Amino acid sequence: MDLAGVYDNPQYYEIAFSFRDIPAEVDVFEECFKRFSQIPVKSVLELGCGNSPHMEELIKRGYQYSGLDLSKAMLEYSREKALRIGAEVNLIHGDMVDFSLETEVDFVYVLLGSLAAKNTSEQTTHFDSVANVLKKGGLYLLDWCVQDDPPWVSESGGNWVLEREGIQVKTTVLWKAINPVEQTFEETLSMEVNDHGEKLNIVGKEIKRAIYPQEFLCFISASKHFEFVGWWNNWDLRQPLEQANKFDRPIALVRRI
Ligand SMILES: C[S@@+](CC[C@H](N)C(=O)[O-])C[C@H]1O[C@@H](n2cnc3c(N)ncnc32)[C@H](O)[C@@H]1O
């Protein structure tokens, strides 16, 4: 089983992950552009864009949006969203582990730990692909892609309930170790949905690979395409990750050289 079941239900996925303050997160993008980008930013690419939660806000602020995803259902959902707001966007069906684009972009981002590389060689092809589509001097922002402890040790998982327009979604996340040497673990995501009385239980499982901070730094410093810029806890540029007791949605920023 993979997470397809979850990603085949973009409307419920969107409710489940609607705890984010999207305008505030786009403010953080823009603060990064101002402080750290060496090129002006007009075009952005979201990897594993799914339902493209930041698309509308980015378009409102004048950016050209591209999103890449493996799930056709998610891409269709984003396409309809763009149509509703009359925006022209570029939604691409592809695998972030190894991809290419026709034109380069000024900024790339991946959210909620969606970096899909399951081993070092996939991580290498992923970063090579990003290097091929990102202009020199441009930034790549990774949200929650670097771990402090193995998730299965520090967390037992968690659950939360969110509701929108009469649809309630209870989301549960669980982690289980698969192989400590390969740093792989299984993530189970369940959504218990109550859609105006109709009840559904949607479950997906995915193998993920943890990346630890010093390993990330080594990987980036060995790369001929990227340099490390910084990392911060909780999407707050006043909280360098070095000062964090516990990672909570850390963002890491690298720049194309
Ligand atoms: C956790 S969701 C994130 C969606 C959205 N970016 C957000 O912030 O809510 C992960 C997304 O990554 C996509 N995905 C998973 N593996 C992928 C891969 N190898 N290449 C491209 N997209 C992938 C899934 O289809 C899903 O839409």
Q: Tell me: the pLDDT tens digits for 198-239?
A: 999 999 999 999 999 999 999 999 999 999 999 999 999 999
Domain count, the chain: 2
3-class SS letters over 31-89? HHHHHHCCCCCCEEEEECCCCCCCHHHHHHCCCEEEEEECCHHHHHHHHHHHHHCCCCC
Q: Which domain holds residue 217?
A: 4-146+212-256
- Same-domain pairing of 36 and 127: yes
Check: CB of residue 63 under 8 Å from CB of residue 44.
yes
Q: Is the CB of residue 254 below 6 angstroms from any atom belonging to ligand 1?
A: no
| CATH number of the domain where residue 181 is located | 2.20.25
Check: CB of residue 213 under 8 Å from CB of residue 242.
no
Check: CB of residue 100 under 8 Å from CB of residue 129.
yes
Report how far ligand 1's centroid is from the alpha carbon of 69 (Å): 6
- Same-domain pairing of 65 and 126: yes
Report how far ligand 1's centroid is from the alpha carbon of 157 (Å): 20
Q: Is the CB of residue 15 below 6 angstroms from any atom belonging to ligand 1?
A: no
The pTM of the full predicted model, rounded to 2 decimals, is: 0.96
- Same-domain pairing of 224 and 189: no
C-beta atoms surrounding 219 within 10 Å: 17
- Same-domain pairing of 115 and 139: yes
- Same-domain pairing of 128 and 194: no
- Same-domain pairing of 56 and 97: yes
Does residue 1 carry a pLDDT above 60? no
Q: Tell me: the pLDDT tens digits for 85-118?
A: 999 999 999 999 999 999 999 999 999 999 999 9
- Same-domain pairing of 199 and 219: no
Report how far ligand 1's centroid is from the alpha carbon of 213 (Å): 22
Q: Is the CB of residue 232 below 6 angstroms from any atom belonging to ligand 1?
A: no
- Same-domain pairing of 68 and 93: yes
- In this structure, of 1-15, 17-31, 117-131, 171-185, the range with the lowest mean pLDDT score is 1-15
- Rounded to whole angstroms, the Cα distance separating 89 from 74 reads 14
Q: Which atom of ligand 1 is nearest to the CA of 111?
A: 8
- Same-domain pairing of 138 and 61: yes
Average pLDDT over residues 6-14: 93
Average pLDDT over residues 117-132: 97
Report how far ligand 1's centroid is from the alpha carbon of 50 (Å): 5
Probe residue for ligand 1, chosen from 76, 79, 114 as the CB with the greatest number of ligand atoms within 8 Å: 114
Probe residue for ligand 1, chosen from 47, 70, 95, 110 as the CB with the greatest number of ligand atoms within 8 Å: 70
Report how far ligand 1's centroid is from the alpha carbon of 153 (Å): 24
Q: What is the DSSP annotation of 134-179?
A: EEEEEEEEEES-S-SS-HHHH---EEEEEEETTEEEEEEEEEEEEE
Instruction: Please report the pLDDT score of residue 171 as a whole number.
Output: 96
Q: Which atom of ligand 1 is nearest to the CA of 54?
A: 8
Position of tokens 């360098």? 240
Q: Is the CB of residue 141 below 6 angstroms from any atom belonging to ligand 1?
A: no
Q: Which atom of ligand 1 is nearest to the CA of 50?
A: 27
- Same-domain pairing of 75 and 95: yes
Q: Tell me: the pLDDT tens digits for 128-180?
A: 999 999 999 999 999 999 998 776 665 556 899 999 999 999 999 998 889 99
| CATH number of the domain where residue 132 is located | 3.40.50.150
Instruction: Please report the pLDDT score of residue 238 as a whole number.
Output: 97
66-103 exposure pattern, b = at least 16 Cβ within 10 A, e = fewer: bbbbbbebbbebbeebbeeeeeebbbbeebbbebebee
- Same-domain pairing of 40 and 165: no
